[in-house]
C-alpha cells in the first residue's frame, strides 16, 4: 500500500489514456473523495458532472481541442456554485475556486491510489462547457478532469529536479 507521499509523488498530468472504461466502483470512490473534501465554512459549493458515454465525450471535445483529450474514457467537470460559496467578510473574497480546487485535488489523489491517472485542465472553453452542460448562471465550470488508465509511466522521483527545494518555499516564524 502506498503512503500518502507516494500517492502524491505518483500523481501526474496524464495525456495518454487506455480506452478501457473506468469501473463504476472506482469512479464512485473518486467522487466520494471529492465529496468529503474540506471547504470554507463547510459550504461545499461544488457539483460534479461525469461524462462517460462516447457520444457525450465526443461532444464535450469541443470544449477542449487537444487530440490526447479524446483518449480519456471518462471526464469529470468540477463546477463551483457561487451562490453557495463562503465569502470572506473582510474583503468579500469568494472561495468557490479554492473549494473546487481542494475537491479536485482529493479526486486526483484518489484516482492515483486506484491505479488511474488524471490531468487537471483549466485552459478550456468555459462558455462552451457551460452550454454543453446546460449550467445555470451561478455554476461555473472550474476544472475539467479526464480520468482513465494511463498508457505511459511516471517517474515519482521527478520532483527532485522539477520542484523547488523546501528551503526556497518555507519560512519559519514571523
SS3 at position 102: helix
Residue 174 lies in a domain: no
Give pLDDT, residue 81.
98
**CATH code of residue 47:** 3.40.109.10
Sequence-ordered strand ranges (E) for 24-116: 46-51, 74-81
Residue 136 lies in a domain: yes
Residue 19 lies in a domain: yes
Residue 12 lies in a domain: yes
Residue 18 lies in a domain: yes
Residue 15 lies in a domain: yes
Structural domain count of the chain: 1
HSE-up of 166 (CA within 13 Å, CB side)?
1
b/e string for 112-134 if b means 16 or more Cβ within 10 A? bbbebbbbbbeebeeebbbebbe
What lies within 8 Å, CB to CB, of 1 at 6+ separation is: none
pLDDT tens digits for 42-85? 999 999 999 999 999 999 999 999 999 999 999 999 999 999 99
SS3 at position 95: coil
pLDDT tens digits for 30-46? 999 999 999 999 999 99
Structural domain that includes position 9: 4-169
Asked if 106 and 36 touch (Cβ cutoff 8 Å), the reply is yes
CA nearest to 148, candidates 29, 52, 9, 34: 52
DSSP state of 83: T
Amino acid at each position: 500500500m502506498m503512503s500518502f507521499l507516494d500517492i502524491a509523488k505518483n500523481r501526474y498530468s496524464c495525456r495518454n489514456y487506455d480506452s478501457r472504461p473506468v469501473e463504476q466502483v472506482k469512479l464512485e470512490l473518486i467522487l466520494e473523495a471529492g465529496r468529503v473534501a474540506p471547504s470554507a465554512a463547510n459550504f461545499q459549493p461544488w457539483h460534479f458532472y461525469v461524462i462517460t458515454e462516447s457520444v457525450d465525450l465526443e461532444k464535450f471535445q469541443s470544449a477542449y481541442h487537444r487530440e490526447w483529450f479524446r483518449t480519456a474514457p471518462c471526464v469529470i467537470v468540477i463546477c463551483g456554485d457561487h451562490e453557495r460559496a463562503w465569502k470572506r467578510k473582510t474583503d468579500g473574497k469568494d472561495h468557490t475556486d479554492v473549494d473546487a480546487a481542494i475537491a479536485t485535488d482529493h479526486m486526483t489523489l484518489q484516482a492515483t491510489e486506484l491505479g488511474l491517472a488524471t490531468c487537471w485542465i483549466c485552459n478550456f472553453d468555459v462558455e462552451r462547457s457551460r452550454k454543453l452542460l446546460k449550467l445555470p448562471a451561478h455554476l461555473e465550470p472550474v476544472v475539467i478532469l479526464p480520468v482513465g488508465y494511463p498508457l505511459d509511466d511516471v517517474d515519482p522521483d521527478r520532483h527532485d529536479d522539477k520542484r523547488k527545494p523546501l528551503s526556497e518555499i518555507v519560512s519559519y516564524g514571523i
